[in-house]
Amino acid sequence: MEIIDGGIASPIGFAAAGMHAGLKKAKKDMAVLISACDAQTAAVFTTNRVKAAPVIWDKGVAEHGVAKAVAVNSGNANACTGRQGLLDAEATAETAAAFIGTDKGKVYVCSTGVIGVPLDMARIRKGIEDLVPSASADGGKDAAEAICTTDTFSKEAAATVMIGDRKVTIGGMAKGSGMIHPNMATMLAFISTDAVISHETLQTLLGSTVEDTFNMISVDGDTSTNDTCLVLANGMAGNEEIKLGTEECNAFEEAFRYVLGTLAKLITRDGEGAGRFIEMNVVNAPSKKDAKMLARSVISSSLVKAAFFGSDANWGRILCAMGYSGADFDPLLVDLSFSSPKGTIEVVKGGEPLPFSEEKAKEILLEKEITVTADCHQGDGAATAWGCDLTYDYVRINGDYRS
């Protein structure tokens, strides 16, 4: 695998564009991704029972396993908008399809922003009319900017891998800063690849990879109505078809996981108002399932997040969060430590507190990136989750989000 500087339009045969269509006051707010040919596709959606109109539309597209384009708007989630919202999602797909030259059933539609406000369809239609002709292999950065809402930076990743004698490229972009929580953490992620791979194989890889990436992050404990992760594979690299269980599939999966994992961590680093990025490692748990439950519980705890905001080595909150996670583990066997570029400090050994320097702990926890490790000493289960601290700015940003 080789990491490259690129994004959603890096693979062969993909074009993207982003622009300001007037849905937001000034920033870019509409994007398109177009494949030169029909692409195999895979998708994962929010687990929230309240699903936005685009999610409902996209589930229908995903069932067919083939798509050609994605149209995205930010500034308006088109969620809780009733029958009109469903009609508007379909109309968006129909408009994009007409300008691209495909069937509306091959166009994904995604929206993100304020809930409960009807879409301005005149601006949506005009935006698509302007975007489609301008889409190009150089348009990835504009598209990544256009899908953002409260994000402070756009999120892109790309990698290449050799499959036989053919170079396969995987690119991606994502948005997310708040309303982020495991079980599809408001998050949108788009992945493109020029690999030859079936819908079934792609869906299997996406499902397992999402479990270890996007489902292992949390900013604020809120699962959105619009969470969507889409993958399009147009096969233009011309490689032999990638099949599960092969060396080629393992190589592809490594690059695929890199792209999704990088986007997941970028979302967490950009948590609304966040000042610190927290990595929670659980090792030697009874099972991987238990390890994941423990790690997710810690990075989802508001009290843990608040302690990191204050650079407070309040390890009791971490053990507490592990205790209510529902995981099977023995607290009397747990070791806990904090680490950062300033060093490592052990605070718990075998479930009992260790004497440690509060001054040294403060120095470690004042860093922008902090790792917590919990060793359960009960098996070989391991998992990593990513989160951030909880700051005053989070309340400020979300207190006046609609205005």
**Tokens of residue 287, six digits:** 């099972």
Residue 60, burial from CB neighbour count under 10 angstroms (0-12, 13-18, 19+): exposed
Strands 228-233 and 188-193 turn out to be parallel
User: Rounded to an integer, what distance in angstroms lies between the CA atom of residue 229 and that of residue 117?
Assistant: 23
**Tokens of residue 262, six digits:** 């990088």
Alpha helices (H) along 339-400: 358-365, 392-399
CB atoms near residue 310 (< 10 Å): 12
Q: Is 136 in contact with 127 (CB distance < 8 Å)?
A: no
- Cα dihedral 82→86→91→93 (10° resolution): 150
CA proximity to 218, closest of 324, 300, 308, 304? 300
Label each residue of 166-235 as H, E or C: EEEEEEEEEECCCCCCCCCCCCEEEEEECCCECHHHHHHHHHHHHHHCHHHECCCCCCCCCCEEEEEECC
Alpha helices (H) along 343-385: 358-365
Q: Which of 46, 92, 186, 262 is catalytic?
A: 186
CA proximity to 206, closest of 177, 175, 172, 235? 172
186 is catalytic: yes
Q: Is 12 in contact with 237 (CB distance < 8 Å)?
A: yes
> Coil, strand, or helix at residue 256?
helix
User: Rounded to an integer, what distance in angstroms lies between the CA atom of residue 45 and that of residue 296?
Assistant: 19
**Tokens of residue 246, six digits:** 């092969």
Q: Which residues are catalytic?
A: 186
